[in-house]
Structure 1
Amino acid sequence: MSGIVLSASVRQNLLSLQSTADLLATTQSRLSTGKSVNSALDNPTNFFTAQSLDNRASDINNLLDGIANGVQVLQAANTGITSLQKLIDSAKSIANQALQTTVGYSTKSNVSTTISGATAADLRGTTSYASNTALSSVLYSGAAGGTTAATGTTTLGATQGTFSNAVAVNAADGTTAVTGTMTLIGTTAATKIGTAPADGDTLTVNGKTITFRAGSAPAAAAVPSGSGVSGNLVTDGSGNTTVYLGTAAAPTATVNDVLTAIDLASGVQTSTITNGAATIGAASGATPSSMAAGIVTLKSSAGADVSVTGKADLLKAFGLTTATGGGNATATATRTTSSTSLGALITDGSTLNVDDKVITFKNAPVPGSANAPAIPTGFGVSGNVLTDGNGNSTVYLQTGNVSDVLNAIDLATGVQTATIAANGAATLAAASGQIASSINASGQLKLSTGINADLSITGTGNALNALGLAGNTGTASAFSAARTSGIGGISGKTLTFTSFNGGTAVDVTFGDGTNGTVKTLDQLNSKLQANNLSATIDANGLLTISTTNDYASSTIGSSAAGGAIGGTLTSSLTFSTASTPVQDVVAQTSRANLVNQYNNILQQIDSTAQDSSFNGVNLLNGDQLKLVFDETAKSSLSITGVTYNSKGLGLAALTSGVDFIDNAATNKVLTNLNAASSTLRSEASALGSNLTIVQVRQDFNKNLINVLQTGSSNLTLADTNVEAANSQALSTRQSIAVSALSLANQSQQSVLQLLR
């Protein structure tokens, strides 16, 4: 071909066309590959840099699969822990059910002793009481000067009071003196009093009523039940009397009848009623009222002053007032004290309330005495005291004395007792170990409180004041004195228990509950609680100390459990030998079933831990997971697995008859379960932390691959817009070059044509 000669223009056009073809081929290659650098010839620096970036991105991308697998391994382990936690919770539920099940023993180990009189409020036992003595204010007799001390024989009653009108009272004719035999009504002025009472008129004497009635007194068979007739009088036996006047033509009632009626009301005279007939007689030592030569001698009883109230004209007719008219007037006869009576007299109807028993002071003769009512059935009389035998008494003022009051008080407090005979006689005697109350040389009542209750005396009327029981000022409304109390039987004694089942050894000193001593059952239980023991007491004082439910299977004082009893209390009280606990078959069967359920849970824990694997790696079965995060293996994470089967969690299979037999055994299982639960939570936290690290690194690697690939692309990728424009331009250029070459060839051929 060397013989072929091309012209310069053809050669030039051929070279241009060849260059354009090369450029066009390069542009088309860039458009087809999308890269501007397809080989080291294109751009060695960019080509090899991009290749390095792509290689690193590829290496990191290869690590992502391992990281993803690691994430699944961690999630599988976390899923396993979640399931294990639920199984642990189920096991806890079984253990708690055992705690709530009936205690596995019908009788727990206990020791007991009886403390006489002990109660839950005071374990010290029966408190002993001794009678105390209380003194009243000084009692004085009625002797002149008012400074003579009273004695036991000083009477409660006084000298009868007398009302005497020194002016003779004439009869209606104005000249005849009134006598006791004069009638109250009639037609003859010389034989009747000046002012006659009308039918229905009344006199009031010491609260009793005397009623005047026209006509004759009824026969004994016709009087009201409980009343009695005597002459012209009908009396109810209590001082209320009806005086029957008769008629004007045949008058019956006399002045003496009115005076007798007054005496019945005042207690100077008394009546004994039998089958409607009343027998009237003067009270012991009393002088009845009388009327002689126009002078009335009105007598009070020894037990009360007398007060007579009625129409002034009627009282004037008896010489009891100088007042006149239809209005009321009052005549009184006041007693006088003496060296034999109290200086302060007790009023009729006053009472003393002694330890809820009632002593009543009455102005009347003593039942059973001369001209006095009979002794009521069920009652007895001793001296001047009528008693019901139960501490309630009546002291009769007319003849009673200070000793009678002291006896009545003693009967109320129980210091003395009364034995009542069939005839109504009461025999008093001091109760065992008691000293009867007395009056000392200074005139003070020396009252024994007795042992039944603290002494408490209140009263009505003037009894408290008259007996010196109202205090120094005489204004106190009550008199009281406390018994002497002893201390319970075990006060100061000590009871000890050595440590029982790991509890705190106990030293219990019985006392008043202060300074660390124990008085009540609650205080004792507070002491025993720390040593796993508890106490109860029954109504008979039986103190029982037993194990708590937590240690129902243990025996007090055994070598295995401890709790030996000792102390000074054991020298005065005998404790029973510690009993062994008695199993409750039904309860133990129920607990054995719970043991089986618990063991089934442990088997599920083992299988769950074994199945918590992914792709052959089990972090709950001791496997290790190593994850590489970069292409040089310099960045990695090693996760060491754990063995979380039942043994790895510290849980062991339970044995029927040993575990769950009481609350203490159950609580031990619960303690292990709580520890296992805490272990799982801790591991779950660690796995969560590691999973977070792996996921963060996984996301980092993904983003890094993108960065590397983007950097590589930036170095090698072509700009398709530019390359497309270049391709179009080169195509045009190629077309022009072909046309130029054609023109060059035509020109050369024309020259050749000329040469022909």
Structure 2
Amino acid sequence: MSGIVLSSSVRQNLLSLQSTADLLATTQNRLSTGKSVNSALDNPTNFFTAQSLDNRASDINNLLDGIANGVQVLQAANTGITSLQKLIDSAKSIANQALQTTVGYSSKSNVSTTIAGATASDLRGTTTYASSTASSNVLYSGAAGGTTAAASTTKLGGVSGVLTGAVTQDNAGTPANISGTTLIYGASGALTTQATTKFADGDTFSVNGKTVTVKAATAPTAASLIGGTTGVLGNVVTDTSGNSTVYLNATTTVGDFVNAFDLASGTQTATITSTAGTAAFAQTAGQTASSITGGQISLQSTTGADLVLTGKADALKALGLTASVGSGTATVQANRTTGTGTLSSLLQTNSTLNVNGHVISFKDGNAPAAANVPAGSGVAGNLVTDGSGNSTVYLGGATAADLLKAIDLATGVQSASNASGTATVTTTTGQIASSINSSGQLKISTGVNADLAITGTGNALSAFGLAGNTGTASAFTAARSAGTGGINGKSLTFSSFNGGTAVNVTFGDGTNGTVKTLDQLNTQLQANNLSATIDANGLLTISSTNDYASSTLGSAAAGGAIGGTLTSSLTFSTASSPVADNVAQTTRANLVSQYNNILNQIDTTSQDSSFNGVNLLNGDQLKLVFDETGKSNLNITGVTYNSKGLGLASLTSGVDFIDNSATNKVLSNLNAASSTLRSEASSLGSNLSVVQVRQDFNKSLINVLQTGSSNLTLADTNTEAANSQALSTRQSIAVSALSLANQSQQSVLQLLR
């Protein structure tokens, strides 16, 4: 072609067309491929970088299939675990049916003994007691100094009090001339004429609750009182209770009133002869009669009660007993005192002691004669007892010994046999009578019939040192000592029975850890798998619980050997062997068969929980690779969750489910298997979560890589389309320019034609 000569303009146009055609071809190639870089020639850096990204995306994409299969393997294992859990629950239901079925034994192993008098509320039974001794506070006598200890002979009453009146005058005005024979009123030998108006018909005097009545009349004759309950002496008519009537007339003397006052206070005693209607007055034994000496009246109290005399003031003044005047009443008093032979605290008359429900009353005066005591009662010294523990102590001569005797009669330490009004008191066999020691303390025997409980009225508790250290206690109590017999204080032991807690029971009142009731006993036996019952005859039976109905008490295998001090006083039967209930055991054997069928299902389910040949419940392993280098991976080690792998073994009829203990062992294994499945389900869930996260991550990473590659190679179609249009236009223009450039040559051609 070198022989062809083209003009410069033509050549320039040809070059332009060639360049445009090249650019147009490149633009059309980009539009057709969608890429701006189609080969290394286009952009080596971008081409090879994009190719590297595409290759990595392709490698990761190839891993997604394996990851997806791994997800299905995990889901298959999880499905298997769910099914296994349901089978475990079915097995639990069968075991619970066994627990709810009648216990497999008609009788369980037990030991028994009979406790006389024992009941469910008090297992101790009939207990005998020994008497104990309770001490009062120290009692002192009334001797000077206040430190002399009281003794058994110390009197309970006091020293008689004396009320000495003023010197009175007779009508002659002689102050000291009156005596017991002095008339109350008259011309001579009488009290001062003023006394005439001081005593009147209907006047009354009250002496310690007894009544002395004045009646203006001639005293009745003795004959008129025959067969009655009163008798007459002088101008006084009296009964045997201390109530009197003084007949006021010309012969009534001061002595009549003094005698009447003494009869009321008890310092004198009237003996009535009903067949004669007469009365005889005599000084009461141990008391001092009132007297008139030197014109003065000296009224005496008894040793058992203060003297309290109330009457018309003018009348008492006429007798020289008060300075009060008028027709109103006045009260004069003679108080007892203490002395060497009495207690330092005076006992108030009519005080009482209540000893174990029996009443001891303290009365003024002396004990009545045997002929005068109530029917069925008897007198013994200074007390009267009804033979049932109730007594009346008479303070006229009563001593500390009488007090102790009365207490012993109430507690049963002593007993009284009454006959013809006389009580014969004897100490109960085996008992020791109460006493007072050299220190002045009452040593009171409680007796064996009941614990000692003493309350009182008046000042009896404090006077006898029974009101406590402060002197304000309202009761005095003391407990008996538990004697032989019964099981109080005895212990009962059982060694550990079937792994339970060994028992050491002490029988008592239910406090401080001791056992009294059947409920308390069962509370302590429960921890050692034992229970107790008692029947109406006091038969105490201790047997195994339903959980261990197949075990024998005291056997080498089960334990539960019996011992303690109780076994030395009571004989326990030899432990019996349990007796099987055939019907119940047949039912339990059927449940064993059902349970074993469930285990077979567990085995087959675990074997079937596979995907694509991988079974994580049958010991297989799963390895998942997450990146193209193989450095990021997850190894999941499978487990063997057939029945053996879950710790479950086939049951044997006659051995398993035979009692609640055997059943509970199976339930315990099932619960452990259930926990194992839950733990593995949690582990699988965690692994599945990891795999799914990596699966999603890889998908996203592939998209990132592919996007990056595209960003390096993809063309901008809008730009390339514009370029194509521009190049087409340029090409058209170049063709036109080439045509113009060739026109000169065409002109020459025309010339040649």
TM category (shorter chain) comes to 0.7 to 0.9
Please tell me whether residue 28 in structure 1 is matched to residue 28 in structure 2: yes
1:324 positional shift:
5.4
- Counterpart mapping for 1:110-121 below 5 A: 110-113=110-113
Which of the residues 427, 433, 439 maps onto 2:424? 427
Q: Which residue is equivalent to 1:194?
A: 196
Q: Which residue is equivalent to 1:308?
A: 309
1:637 positional shift:
3.6
Partner Cα separation in structure 2 for residue 732 and residue 138 of structure 1: 150
Partner Cα separation in structure 2 for residue 50 and residue 442 of structure 1: 123
Which of 608-617 and 288-297 deviates more?
Answer: 288-297
Q: Residue 555 of structure 1 aligns to a residue in which SS? A: coil
Cα deviations across residues 215-239 of structure 1 (Å, max 9, x unaligned)? 899999x99xxx9555687867643
Q: Which residue is equivalent to 1:553?
A: 550
Structure 2, unaligned runs of 5 or more: none
Partner Cα separation in structure 2 for residue 173 and residue 135 of structure 1: 56
- Counterpart mapping for 1:264-283 below 5 A: 264-267=263-266, 268-270=268-270, 282=282
In structure 2, relative to structure 1, the CA distance for the partners of 1:462 and 1:283 (3 Å cut) is: farther
In structure 2, relative to structure 1, the CA distance for the partners of 1:544 and 1:215 (3 Å cut) is: farther
Which of the residues 674, 677, 680 maps onto 1:677? 674
Partner Cα separation in structure 1 for residue 43 and residue 137 of structure 2: 136
Which of 378-387 and 151-160 deviates more?
Answer: 151-160
Partner Cα separation in structure 2 for residue 754 and residue 149 of structure 1: 188
1:556 positional shift:
0.8
Partner Cα separation in structure 2 for residue 189 and residue 455 of structure 1: 61
Letter aligned with residue 26 of structure 1: T
1:74 positional shift:
1.8
Partner Cα separation in structure 2 for residue 78 and residue 543 of structure 1: 57
Q: Which residue is equivalent to 1:58?
A: 58
Q: Which residue is equivalent to 1:262?
A: 261
In structure 2, relative to structure 1, the CA distance for the partners of 1:547 and 1:470 (3 Å cut) is: closer
Letter aligned with residue 363 of structure 1: D
Letter aligned with residue 212 of structure 2: I
Cα deviations across residues 449-491 of structure 1 (Å, max 9, x unaligned)? 54456667676667678778799x9978799696784677789
Q: Is the 8 A contact 1:456 1:478 kept in 2?
A: no
1:203 positional shift:
0.9
Q: Is the 8 A contact 1:518 1:524 kept in 2?
A: no
Q: TM-score, normalised by structure 1?
A: 0.75
In structure 2, relative to structure 1, the CA distance for the partners of 1:100 and 1:240 (3 Å cut) is: farther
Q: Is the 8 A contact 1:606 1:645 kept in 2?
A: yes
In structure 2, relative to structure 1, the CA distance for the partners of 1:557 and 1:38 (3 Å cut) is: same
- Counterpart mapping for 1:22-421 below 5 A: 22-38=22-38, 50-51=50-51, 53-82=53-82, 84-85=84-85, 88=88, 108-113=108-113, 126=127, 128-132=129-133, 134=135, 152=153, 169-170=170-171, 194-195=196-197, 197-212=199-214, 228=229, 230=231, 238-241=241-244, 258-259=257-258, 261-267=260-266, 268-270=268-270, 282=282, 285=285, 303-304=304-305, 306-317=307-318, 325-326=326-327, 328=329, 348-354=349-355, 357-369=358-370, 374-401=372-399, 403-421=401-419
In structure 2, relative to structure 1, the CA distance for the partners of 1:418 and 1:28 (3 Å cut) is: same
Q: Is the 8 A contact 2:456 2:475 kept in 1?
A: no
Letter aligned with residue 24 of structure 2: L
Q: Is the 8 A contact 1:124 1:488 kept in 2?
A: no
Q: Residue 389 of structure 1 aligns to a residue in which SS? A: coil
RMSD after superposition: 5.8
Cα deviations across residues 294-335 of structure 1 (Å, max 9, x unaligned)? 997866556556443322432355565687544555667788
In structure 2, relative to structure 1, the CA distance for the partners of 1:228 and 1:21 (3 Å cut) is: same
Q: Residue 574 of structure 2 aligns to a residue in which SS? A: coil
Q: Residue 573 of structure 2 aligns to a residue in which SS? A: coil
Please tell me whether residue 665 in structure 1 is matched to residue 665 in structure 2: no
Q: Is the 8 A contact 2:168 2:178 kept in 1?
A: no
Please tell me whether residue 574 in structure 1 is matched to residue 585 in structure 2: no
Please tell me whether residue 642 in structure 1 is matched to residue 639 in structure 2: yes
Partner Cα separation in structure 2 for residue 337 and residue 620 of structure 1: 105
Structure 1, unaligned runs of 5 or more: none
What percent of counterpart residues are identical?
Answer: 67
Partner Cα separation in structure 1 for residue 597 and residue 746 of structure 2: 109
Please tell me whether residue 719 in structure 1 is matched to residue 716 in structure 2: yes
Cα deviations across residues 684-723 of structure 1 (Å, max 9, x unaligned)? 3332332233233323422332344234434533333442
Cα deviations across residues 600-626 of structure 1 (Å, max 9, x unaligned)? 765765566456444564433444434
Which of 711-720 and 42-51 deviates more?
Answer: 42-51
In structure 2, relative to structure 1, the CA distance for the partners of 1:496 and 1:181 (3 Å cut) is: closer
Letter aligned with residue 383 of structure 1: G
1:554 positional shift:
1.9
Q: Residue 308 of structure 1 aligns to a residue in which SS? A: strand
Partner Cα separation in structure 2 for residue 657 and residue 171 of structure 1: 127
Which of the residues 732, 737, 740 maps onto 1:735? 732
Cα deviations across residues 504-538 of structure 1 (Å, max 9, x unaligned)? 6x48496999xxx9854799889866654466789
Partner Cα separation in structure 1 for residue 10 and residue 344 of structure 2: 179
1:394 positional shift:
0.9
Which of 30-39 and 131-140 deviates more?
Answer: 131-140
Cα deviations across residues 215-273 of structure 1 (Å, max 9, x unaligned)? 899999x99xxx9555687867643445576xx9xx99876764554343122224779
Cα deviations across residues 666-686 of structure 1 (Å, max 9, x unaligned)? 432333233223322332333
Q: Is the 8 A contact 1:449 1:481 kept in 2?
A: no
Q: Is the 8 A contact 2:207 2:308 kept in 1?
A: yes
Please tell me whether residue 748 in structure 1 is matched to residue 745 in structure 2: yes
1:139 positional shift:
6.7
Letter aligned with residue 676 of structure 1: A
Cα deviations across residues 628-651 of structure 1 (Å, max 9, x unaligned)? 434566654443332334443223
Which of 105-114 and 598-607 deviates more?
Answer: 598-607
Letter aligned with residue 670 of structure 2: L
Size of the alignment, in residue pairs? 735
In structure 2, relative to structure 1, the CA distance for the partners of 1:402 and 1:29 (3 Å cut) is: closer
Partner Cα separation in structure 2 for residue 215 and residue 453 of structure 1: 60
Partner Cα separation in structure 2 for residue 693 and residue 637 of structure 1: 9
Q: Residue 73 of structure 1 aligns to a residue in which SS? A: helix
Q: Residue 196 of structure 2 aligns to a residue in which SS? A: coil
In structure 2, relative to structure 1, the CA distance for the partners of 1:525 and 1:323 (3 Å cut) is: closer
Q: Which residue is equivalent to 1:500?
A: 497
- Counterpart mapping for 1:426-505 below 5 A: 426-438=423-435, 447-452=444-449, 485=481, 497-503=494-500
Partner Cα separation in structure 1 for residue 185 and residue 409 of structure 2: 49
Letter aligned with residue 261 of structure 2: I
In structure 2, relative to structure 1, the CA distance for the partners of 1:715 and 1:442 (3 Å cut) is: closer
Q: Residue 194 of structure 1 aligns to a residue in which SS? A: helix
In structure 2, relative to structure 1, the CA distance for the partners of 1:647 and 1:21 (3 Å cut) is: same
Q: Is the 8 A contact 2:169 2:177 kept in 1?
A: no
In structure 2, relative to structure 1, the CA distance for the partners of 1:53 and 1:675 (3 Å cut) is: same
Partner Cα separation in structure 2 for residue 583 and residue 252 of structure 1: 109
Which of the residues 692, 717, 740 maps onto 1:695? 692
Which of 75-84 and 434-443 deviates more?
Answer: 434-443
